[in-house]
Amino acid sequence: MRPILNTFLLSAALTVGLVAADPAPAPAAAPAPAPAAAAPAVAAAPGKAAAPAPADLATKTDEVTENAIIQYFKDGGINMYFLLLVGLMGLAVAVDRLIKLRLRTFVMDRQNFTTALAAWQAKDYAKAKSIALDDGSAQGEIVAYMADNPALPSATLTTDVTDMAGRVISRHQSRGYYLNIAATLSPLLGLLGTICGMILAFNKIAAAGDVGDTSMVAGGISMALINTALGLIIAVPALTAYHAFRLRLNDLSLKLEDACTETLAKFLVGR
């Protein structure tokens, strides 16, 4: 409520300043002012110059909002630092998943795949391995492994390729679990801060006895609500991102399986 109230007050001041800066039109039939009346008009001019500019008020609004956020963080207590760490962890994992969960991370570029296949068929296994590794995809790692072990039986290569694809998918799944941890842990930390805030409020009531007033519990209640709010602010996006990236990984896993099937079919043909 504090930043909203501050913004409202500053907006009201901006409106008053703009109204004061807008000169009212003089009546058309009014006579020319006497020389003595010119003095008040001149005296009113400094008041117009002193009106704050809209840009200055906007800057002050930003400063008040920033200070309010910092004050909220301090009012939340030490538990806010743990919530901040969990939020930063979730943000880092979300950015990593956004970068890594792309088709090119799993499937080779078609031109690179065609060139590596031609090198394999020409028995130039070193070239095929080099092209596959330079591609940087999971399918490229599989092709590089096959080029590094061309003498293995087809059944063995098929089993190894399947295992490699499974490990790639499992590795991406395990990295995504950190988002689930952030989504699960942040509401619990927020609840812990809520309980601590309520304990603080009740302790102040007990210490004051009958002479206390409601204002003394405001700090504890504020601490409780701030922790709850921040916990939910972290949990909701983290849980949404976790399920979104999970669906994306399922789609990419199917594409990797299709790519592995194509690799085995074209590289092992005629053996």
Q: Which position has the token pair 């504020």?
A: 222
Q: What is the pLDDT of residue 43?
A: 46
Give percent of the chain above pLDDT 90. 59
What number is the average pLDDT over the span 216-233? Answer: 89
DSSP string, 194-218: HHHHHHHHHHHHHHHGGG--GGGGH
59: left (phi over 0), alpha (psi -120 to 50) or beta: alpha
Q: What is the pLDDT of residue 41?
A: 42
What number is the average pLDDT over the span 215-233? Answer: 88
Token code pair at residue 115 = 């060139």
Q: What is the pLDDT of residue 215?
A: 74
Q: How far apart are CA 40 and CA 34, in angstroms?
A: 11
What number is the average pLDDT over the span 129-134? Answer: 96
Spatial contact of 198 and 235, defined as CB atoms under 8 Å apart:
no
Q: Considering only 29-33, 145-149, 168-172, 267-271, which range has the smallest mean pLDDT?
A: 29-33
Highest mean pLDDT of the ranges 44-53, 58-67, 167-176, 206-215 = 167-176
Query: Is the pLDDT confidence value at 134 over 90?
Result: yes
Q: What three-state secondary structure class fits 149?
A: coil
Q: What is the pLDDT of residue 206?
A: 80
Token code pair at residue 90 = 């979730």
